[in-house]
Amino acid sequence: MTAPPLLEVRDLHTYYDNIAALRGVSLTVSEGEIVALIGANGAGKSTLLKSITGLTPPRQGEIFMEGRRLNGVPAHAVVRLGVAMVPEGRQIFGRLSVYENLEMGAFTRTDTDAVQRSFDRVFELFPRLAERREQIGGTLSGGEQQMLAIGRAIMAAPRLLLLDEPSMGLAPILVQQIFRTIREINREGASILLVEQNANAALSLANRGYVLRVGQIVIEDAAEALKENKQVKEAYLGGH
């Protein structure tokens, strides 16, 4: 019997009041995969991540994590099941120190030694955070705050990491570092669903990808095939 995907979304419909943000979205993320979700602003990408995590519950459809239904599971319990999200705009705790922000990421964990190993790993991935561990989060640069947001998610020891626009507003050299880190996190065992405006970078990193347009999946393919797709090139990759 074939094991279920790590994440399976079936026919999801999510609304804001009476406005449909997602209309029949279905996708999967398998163990060990990086899956890219690309689309224009307002396509519903962030809404999909919020629906998966329970922050914006869908009105219709189903979400499964390893075959377990997530519909109706509170957001904090979704984290306990192995799902962590790095939200758009970082949303760190601006009045807490770097160390305290990272502690918040481990709020569901009781394995003290393993949590300490996660601290060590975050500081290994992001030496700048180690240097600034006592600094107040709100005083960090944009790039450092993005590192902190990713580090906080790592502290939850997720099996599935949801990343919402991790390169937004960052200098190119920092974007390269963030994407190298995402690949490293994946190599260490976390599957990743990546929402990213930088479609070229996302598809270069991913195994597969989906294109979301006005709340609906319109194209699904291997990442390399999407990079060569004429529609995708013209709409998202700046090519012809």
Whether the predicted pLDDT of 135 surpasses 60? yes
Rounded average pLDDT over 79-89: 91
pLDDT tens-digit series, residues 32-72: 999 999 999 899 999 999 999 999 999 999 999 999 999 99
Q: Which domains does the chain have, with CATH numbers?
A: 1-82+158-240 (3.40.50.300), 91-157 (no CATH)
pLDDT at 28 over 90: yes
Phi and psi angles of residue 160, each rounded to the nearest 5 degrees, phi first: -130, 125
DSSP conformation class of 2: P
Q: Which residues 6+ apart lie within 8 Å of 137 measured at CB?
A: 92, 93, 94, 95, 96, 97, 98, 100, 101, 145, 148
pLDDT reading at 238 higher than 80: no
Please answer whether residues 205 and 191 qualify as being in contact, where contact means their C-beta atoms are separated by less than 8 angstroms: no
> For residue 170, what pLDDT is reported?
86
Are the C-beta atoms of residues 70 and 63 closer than 8 Å to each other?
yes
| Residue 189 φ/ψ region, left for φ over 0, alpha for ψ in the -120 to 50 degree band, beta for the rest | left
Percentage of the chain lying above the pLDDT 70 cut = 98
- pLDDT digits 0-9 by tens, 202-217: 999 999 999 999 999 9
